[in-house]
Amino acid sequence: MSTPESLIPKFQISRLLKQDQHGRRISLLGSIDGQQGILTAERTAFATESLETLQAFHAAISKVNNLGDNDIYRWYLASSSDSSNASQQGTQQDLKLNLIWPCTEQHIKKYSDQKLRMVTETPAIYKDHVRPYMQAKREEGRLNWVFNILEGRTEQEDVVLRDDGHGLEDAFLMLPDLNWDRKTLSSLHLLALVHRRDIWSLRDLRKKHVPWLKYLRQRVLESTVSLYPDLEMDELKLYVHYHHRCWLQNAYLRLSDQPTYYHFHIHVVNVMLEAGATQATGKAFGLENLVSQLETLAGDEDASLADVSLTYYLGEASELWTEIFAPLKLKGGVQPKSQ
Residue 37 exposed, middle or buried by CB count within 10 Å (0-12, 13-18, 19+): buried
For the chain, where do the domains classified as CATH 3.30.200 start and end? 4-104
Which is catalytic among the residues 243, 263, 265, 267? Answer: 265
Instruction: Tell me whether the omega of the peptide bond preceding residue 229 falls within 30 degrees of 0, making it cis.
Output: no
The domain over range 114-331 is classified in CATH as 3.30.365.10: no
pLDDT reported for residue 338: 35
- Predicted confidence (pLDDT) per residue in 323-336, tens digit: 999 999 998 755 54
Residues 102-143: tens digit of each pLDDT: 998 878 887 888 899 999 999 999 999 999 999 988 887 666
Q: How far is CA 94 from CA 80, 83, 206, 297, in A?
A: 6, 13, 43, 47
In the CATH hierarchy, which fold is given to the domain comprising 4-104? Phosphorylase Kinase; domain 1 (3.30.200)
Burial class (CB in 10 A: 0-12, 13-18, 19+), 67: buried
Contact 230, 187 (CB under 8 A): no
Helix, strand or coil, per DSSP, at residue 126: helix
Report whether 68 contacts 6 (CB < 8 A): no
Per-residue pLDDT, averaged over 221-243, amounts to 95
In angstroms, the CA 71 to CA 74 distance is 8
Cα–Cα dist 252/275, whole Å: 21
Whether 265 sits among the annotated catalytic residues: the reply is yes
**Mean pLDDT (the chain, rounded):** 81
Q: Which of 23, 28, 334 is nearest to 11 (CA)?
A: 28
Check residue 132 and report its DSSP letter: H
295: amino acid identity, one letter: E
Structure confidence by residue, pLDDT tens digits, 152-208: 777 677 889 999 988 888 899 999 987 787 888 988 999 999 999 999 999 999 999
Q: How many CA atoms lie within 13 A of 260 on its CB side?
A: 18
Phi and psi at 40, nearest 5°, equal -110, 125
Q: What is the DSSP code string of 209-230?
A: GHHHHHHHHHHHHHHHHHHSTT
Burial of 318 (C-beta count, 10 Å sphere; 0-12/13-18/19+): buried
At residue 272, φ and ψ (nearest 5 deg) are: -80, -10
**Residue 33's Cα: distance from chain center in Å?**
29
* Gap between the Cα atoms of 85 and 64, Å rounded: 17
Please name every residue paired with 236 in a beta bridge, in sequence order, or none if there are none: 270
Listed in order, the ranges of the chain carrying CATH 3.30.428.10 are 114-331
Overall average pLDDT of the 259-284 stretch:
74
Count other Cβ atoms within 10 Å, centred on residue 160. Answer: 16
Most confident stretch, 53-62, 129-138, 299-308: 299-308
- Report how far Cα 277 is from the mean position of its chain's Cα atoms: 11
| Contact in structure between 28 and 37 (CB atoms under 8 Å) | no
